[in-house]
């Protein structure tokens, strides 16, 4: 509980509420050389506690409902994409060009799951879409040269670093100055007034709240998937010309609706949605959406009382703030891949734990901000970064660790099946659990972009 108490304190939570959390420890879960099991449980635990806190406020129940964190449920949810089955078909994993590659002096890891990222990678390297050609091109260059060349082309490639090498990097210093979950009051908007919730069915602390979801990939969608579990009307918006990967959308689409909106061409449509939104969650690079009036300050000016939640890979400041990034690449840059493997054979965490952990932390930050608004008002900014989550997970780790991880855990008790518009789904149940709360999403995922861009 020490880790959970620390995270809860960082969220501004009342310390005494930690006593409402109980844990079911399963040592075989998320086996790793780093304390992934403990960290993952703490991330989920503070999210569940924030939900329970908000539930108590909205029911005037007095005592905060008891929270239960089960390592089995957490471990299963942290690899939800691996457990997903659609009519028996397993989800597609990393693309062939998304992997580790040998360079002249070490290793790089690339990310090319999206077609536009793949095209930029190949353009930067000057090679055809052939793994052998890519391998040959990379083998003759230094890892840092590849990193800079590909980044300059808007692609994704990161050189393997040890924890010490990352600690000496300017971006690591910028990240170290950030809180794990940054929470800022933006103005003096009036206190939020919640309608009471309760009655039949599960207790939904986010019922009646509207969430605009402008996120992609895993971390942001995990946060909004969690808010949807808790009763929020979550509307995900994507640009029409940038489709999401189908299986990724299915895995993180539970409880949500999915619509298409061109922010440049349909500003009026977005403003109508913003006027009814309680929460806006973005997952693009810092500043990337500012030209559309989507900075936290601009949103709060047009929609006083809004909670703006922002997610990035590398943090909002520092020389890498504007770079693209994903969980797998942050692991490589920050020394985690070295700690999980070695200099000669890099490894990886047993889950995309930076993505999933950050997602639950972001949801927790939103829920705590909503609770705080009921007391003191004010539009709020909540900000997280994968690299800052990596620093929290890696705290105290040395150079390249030794030893072997332990055994795994059967996920069967924490899997469910249902029919959906996409077919018969097998999926991981949500790990966020508190007394009287929901055990599953009210609705399954729908097809990408087919919902109307309007509130229910």
Question: Model confidence over 326-362: pLDDT tens digits?
Answer: 999 999 999 999 999 988 899 999 999 999 999 999 9
pLDDT over 50 (residue 399): no
pLDDT over 70 (residue 398): no
Q: Are 85 and 425 in contact (CB under 8 A)?
A: yes
Q: In which band, very low, low, confident or very high, does the pLDDT at 407 lie, cut at 50, 70 and 90?
A: very low
Residues for the chain: how many in total? Answer: 456
Q: What is the mean pLDDT of residues 59-81?
A: 95
Residues 6+ apart with CB under 8 A from 442: 231, 255
Q: What is the pLDDT of residue 402?
A: 40
| Structure token digits, residue 20 | 């409402």
Does residue 293 come out as left (phi exceeding 0), alpha (psi in the -120 to 50 range) or beta?
left
pLDDT over 80 (residue 315): yes
- Where helices occur in 153-279 by DSSP H, the ranges are 163-167, 170-176, 219-229, 246-252, 267-275
How many CA atoms lie less than 13 Å away from 406 in the CB half-sphere? Answer: 12
The larger pLDDT score, comparing residue 410 to residue 305, is at 305
Count of CB atoms situated within 10 Å of the CB of 456: 8
- φ, ψ of residue 308 in degrees (nearest 5): -105, 125
Q: What is the pLDDT of residue 403?
A: 38
Question: Model confidence over 187-238: pLDDT tens digits?
Answer: 999 999 999 887 788 999 999 999 999 999 899 999 999 999 999 999 999 9
108: part of which helix (H) or strand (E)? strand 107-110
| DSSP structure string for 28-54 | TTT--SS-HHHHHHHHHHHHHHHHHHH
- φ, ψ of residue 59 in degrees (nearest 5): -105, -5
Share of the chain above pLDDT 70, in %: 97
Comparing C-alpha atoms, which of 135, 125, 70 is closest to residue 100?
Answer: 135
**d(C-alpha 218, C-alpha 138), whole Å:** 28
Q: What is the mean pLDDT of residues 62-78?
A: 96
């Amino acid at each position: 509980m020490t880790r959970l108490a620390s995270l809860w304190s960082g969220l501004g939570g009342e310390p005494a509420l930690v006593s409402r959390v109980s844990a079911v420890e399963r040592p075989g879960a998320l086996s790793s050389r780093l304390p992934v099991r403990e960290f993952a449980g703490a991330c989920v635990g503070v999210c569940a506690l924030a939900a329970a806190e908000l539930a108590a406020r909205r029911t005037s129940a007095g005592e905060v409902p008891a929270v239960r964190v089960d390592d089995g449920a957490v471990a299963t949810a942290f690899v939800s994409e691996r457990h997903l089955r659609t009519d028996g078909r397993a989800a597609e994993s990393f693309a062939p060009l998304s992997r580790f590659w040998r360079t002249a002096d070490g290793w790089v890891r690339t990310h090319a799951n999206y077609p536009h990222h793949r095209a930029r990678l190949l353009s930067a390297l000057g090679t055809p879409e052939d793994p052998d050609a890519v391998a040959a091109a990379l083998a003759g260059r230094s890892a840092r040269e590849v990193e800079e060349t590909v980044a300059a082309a808007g692609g994704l490639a990161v050189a393997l670093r040890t924890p010490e090498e990352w600690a000496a990097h300017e971006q690591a210093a910028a990240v170290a100055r950030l809180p794990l979950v940054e929470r800022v009051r933006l103005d003096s908007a009036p206190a939020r007034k919640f309608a009471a919730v309760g009655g039949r069915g599960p207790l939904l602390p986010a019922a009646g709240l509207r969430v605009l979801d402008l996120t992609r990939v895993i971390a942001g969608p995990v946060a909004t998937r969690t808010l949807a579990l808790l009763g929020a009307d979550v509307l995900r918006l994507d640009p029409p010309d940038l489709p999401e990967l189908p299986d990724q959308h299915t895995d993180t689409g539970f409880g949500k609706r999915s619509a298409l909106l061109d922010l440049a061409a349909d500003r009026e449509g977005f403003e109508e949605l913003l006027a009814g939104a309680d929460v806006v969650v973005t997952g693009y690079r810092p500043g990337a959406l500012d030209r559309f009036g989507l900075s936290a300050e601009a949103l709060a000016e047009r929609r006083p009382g809004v909670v703006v939640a922002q997610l990035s890979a590398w943090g909002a400041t520092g020389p890498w703030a504007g770079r693209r990034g994903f969980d797998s690449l942050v692991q490589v840059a920050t020394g985690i891949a070295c700690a999980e493997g070695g200099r000669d054979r890099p490894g990886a965490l047993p889950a995309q734990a930076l993505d999933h952990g950050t997602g639950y932390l972001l949801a927790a930050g939103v829920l705590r901000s909503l609770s705080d608004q009921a007391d003191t008002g004010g539009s709020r900014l909540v900000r997280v970064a994968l690299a800052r989550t990596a620093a929290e997970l890696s705290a105290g780790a040395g150079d390249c660790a030794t030893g072997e991880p332990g055994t795994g855990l059967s996920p069967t008790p924490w899997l469910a099946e249902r029919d959906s518009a996409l077919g018969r789904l097998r999926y991981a149940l949500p790990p966020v659990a508190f007394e009287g709360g929901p055990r599953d999403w009210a609705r399954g995922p729908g097809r990408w972009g087919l919902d109307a861009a309007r509130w229910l």
